[in-house]
Amino acid sequence: MSVRKILVPLAGRTEDDEVLATALSVARGFGAQLVGLFARPDPTEALPYLGDGVSGQVIEDLMQAAREGADQASRRVKTALERIATEAGVAVAQKGGEPVLPSVRFLDVTGRRDDVVAAHSRLSDLIVFGEGTTGVAGGTALEAAMMSAGRPVLIAPKKAWDPVGGSVCIGWDESAEAARAVTAAIPFLEKAKKVTILCIGGKELDPAPGSTLADYLELHGVVADLHLVDAAGRAAGEVLLEQAEKAKTDLLVMGGYSHSRLLEFIIGGATQHVRSHATIPVLMAH
């Protein structure tokens, strides 16, 4: 297992610098290429919503303003990407040039953001998202990458993280989603100095599932400690974050959306809680 391509969807905001710094630290650690992706809105998609009474000149003015706004955002993304690469001494890959690792590359693609992110996620090893502006890390683009494209995602909150994965906690509940997250995280786990398996439940929590995971990880050369945590009636996501933060972890590994997105949205769930409250990097898979 290896990490060779890390996709980072960017929007040209000031928050891009922090998520880029975190993603670049991961790319350098694995000798990977960081691809900064700017999804350029197609102004023609807004035409059906303008109504029949809007004049041709108004439509042209609106489309031109949209194009200019996208051009400015794209330039900000490209500039930020090149600046952080220069500061880190990492090569900027050129189209058609010889592949160099680690490196950074810039992509400007026109289309709906979720569709563009999903399409380019399919052939990426990891997709990195910052907090964004909605209060839920990654927004719908994260769901597109994780659920539509089936790829692992890394939430990089609050600040620039370096390193990512020196100390790793795994939230283990035996679900298929958690198992996919663990296998996706193997490159991190193999390099980690400390790995902790967290099983959240009641007072009579069975240690067997956690021990089975520890045995699996040992085959990959990873020695993990097992902690059984009584949630005492509290939500699993809340307890999981609390335990990971208490352990001074710099990567939490967990399954995402073991329940449907609609159910999580209505009644809450571990995934939604972690996406909204994480203060440490989180690797999720569905």
* Amino acid, res. 276: S
Structure tokens at 266: 């209505």
What's the Cα-to-Cα distance from 104 to each of 7, 26, 70, 214, rounded to whole Å? 10, 12, 21, 35
Handedness of CA 22, 25, 30, 33 (dihedral sign): positive
Fold of 5-155: Rossmann fold (3.40.50)
List, by residue range, all CATH 3.40.50.620 domains of the chain.
Answer: 5-155, 167-285
Distance CA 160, CA 16 (A): 10
As assigned by CATH, the class of the 167-285 domain is alpha beta
Locate tokens 């400007």: which residue? 108
CB 20 within 8 A of CB 85: no
Strands (E), the chain: 5-10, 33-40, 91-92, 103-110, 126-129, 153-155, 167-171, 194-201, 224-230, 251-255, 282-285
Concatenate the DSSP letters of all residues of 65-106 into one string: HHHHHHHHHHHHHHHHHHHHHHHHT-EE--TTSPP-SSEEEE
Locate tokens 């930020």: which residue? 80
Cα Rg, the chain, nearest whole Å: 20
Q: What's the pLDDT score for residue 99?
A: 84
Q: What's the pLDDT score for residue 267?
A: 41
Q: Beta partners for 108?
A: 38
Structure tokens at 159: 């600040």
Q: What's the pLDDT score for residue 36?
A: 97
Which stretches of the chain drop beneath a pLDDT of 70? 44-59, 132-135, 259-268
Please, what is the angle between helix 236-246 and helix 270-277, to 10°? 40
45: left (phi over 0), alpha (psi -120 to 50) or beta: alpha
Q: What's the pLDDT score for residue 133?
A: 56
What's the Cα-to-Cα distance from 249 to each of 98, 170, 221, 242, rounded to whole Å? 37, 10, 20, 10
